Amino acid sequence: MTKVLKCISPIDGSVFAERPVLDHGAAAALVERAREAQALWAARPVQERIDLVLAGVAAVGAMNDDIVPELAAMMGRPVRYGGEFGGFNERSQYMAEIAETALADIAVGEDATFKRYIKRVPHGVVFVVAPWNYPYMTAINTIAPALIAGNTVVLKHATQTLLVGERMARAFHSAGVPEDVFINVFLDHDTTSGLIADDAFDFVNFTGSVGGGRAMERAAAGTFTGLGLELGGKDPGYVMEDADLDAAVATLMDAAMYNSGQCCCGIERVYVHESLFAAFVEKSVELVKGYKLGNPLDPETTLGPMANVRFAEEVRAQIAEAVAAGATAHIPTLEGDDGGAYLSPQILTNVSHDMRVMRDESFGPVVGIMPVRDDEEAIRLMNDSEFGLTASLWTADIDRAMRVGDQIETGTVFLNRADYLDPGLCWTGCKNTGRGGGLSVIGYHNLTRPKSYHLKKVTT
């Protein structure tokens, strides 16, 4: 009997979409088609590949009026925020702009006897395993540069956003990208692992949980397949005594609560200099109390349901454990909190790193806030985590921010902003957040391999 993937809408618990999965043989045949198509795709001029990819991006944009409510139905983000096309397009455009330079040969030297240079060569078939929380933007981080670099792409999306890969493939094909160059697949975990173990792919990019990343590594063991892994996060904010308090409150609370806290680089813990602590908490509570929790299809809703009831249950458990251990919860239960996927946001004080809410990834609308005496204490607490994706610093002193940033174990340091992915910078992490890096020139380097040429000239 064919297994079926079902997207359960967090709006009402109904089945929003379902698709049958491919068995191993059918999936392997599709991957082989991508492999056979890769050489001809890579042989096209770089500018031709760029033009086709950007045409595919534009075709996705043309679908945005349908995509926004579809995303709300699949994973709960309110329609008032307009979807993901802004970031989707920004990242694609930037990677297109730098492609010629990033992929250019590196000249080492030429004289009468030798010509030496290094080429950037596509890996071959790139497998993108994309998450549900920002399903378009996280996928395009790899898809656009992988295709531009001359790879073919096989895309597998999370079941919670089942229709995203199908839409992207349809858009890119309509723009002229050959069907075998960009293939969307519906797979279960066993088939996914089996294909990786069979050495079907030349590079795998996975965004998801730490457990999922470990499964990818186990599947790839012994194949020498390159892996790019962006896994969990527990991103901190640090508000110093000279910070713009109002800006810090507005930005950090938005970074903690936007998308119901389901952001890879969302702020999950905040450390505030003791001189500003009371005011920061008061202003944050006032702001968050004003959120409207409800149906994401309602334009007035500012906070939708979490993508799945079990995700909300984990956040509720972390909050309950913290309160039982002495934490203070500041946000009353909002109208619309149904005890299921619809979850009230929460701000906690009197927290410590003995509590799971300050250690484990919450991935929900909850943030713990602690006072600190100085930079030394803040740095120690920010580094007291198994994760390292981003950190958000707040001060008027950029030199101080750089000194603090140099001591934080993280992939990105923000100053006076948070929760943003700049395509000109490498998107990367450390510790259990994973390995590798997307976007920027380094993103192209990770999606290609170096090939050296040492050419001795024949002289007479």
- Structure tokens, 85: 């096309």
Contact 137, 87 (CB under 8 A): yes
* CA–CA separation, 390 and 388 (whole Å): 6
Among 46, 42, 84, residue whose Cα is nearest residue 63? 84
> Please, what is the Cα angle at 12 between 10 and 18, to 5 degrees?
65
For 192-252, where are the E strands, in sequence order? 203-207, 226-230, 235-239
- Structure tokens, 74: 């699949």
Catalytic-labelled residue, pool 84, 230, 268, 361: 230
* CA–CA separation, 164 and 170 (whole Å): 10
Among 285, 284, 359, residue whose Cα is nearest residue 321? 359
Q: Which helix (H) or strand (E) holds 119?
A: strand 114-122
Is 230 among the residues known to form the active site?
yes
Catalytic-labelled residue, pool 7, 263, 264, 265: 264
Contact 142, 129 (CB under 8 A): no
* CA–CA separation, 178 and 47 (whole Å): 16
Is 264 among the residues known to form the active site?
yes
Among 439, 434, 445, residue whose Cα is nearest residue 420? 439
Q: Which helix (H) or strand (E) holds 111?
A: none
Q: Cα separations (Å) of 222 from 89, 193, 200, 216, 350?
A: 37, 13, 13, 12, 47
What are the residues whose beta carbons fall under 8 Å from the beta carbon of 400, sequence distance 6 or more?
240, 375
Catalytic residues: 230, 264
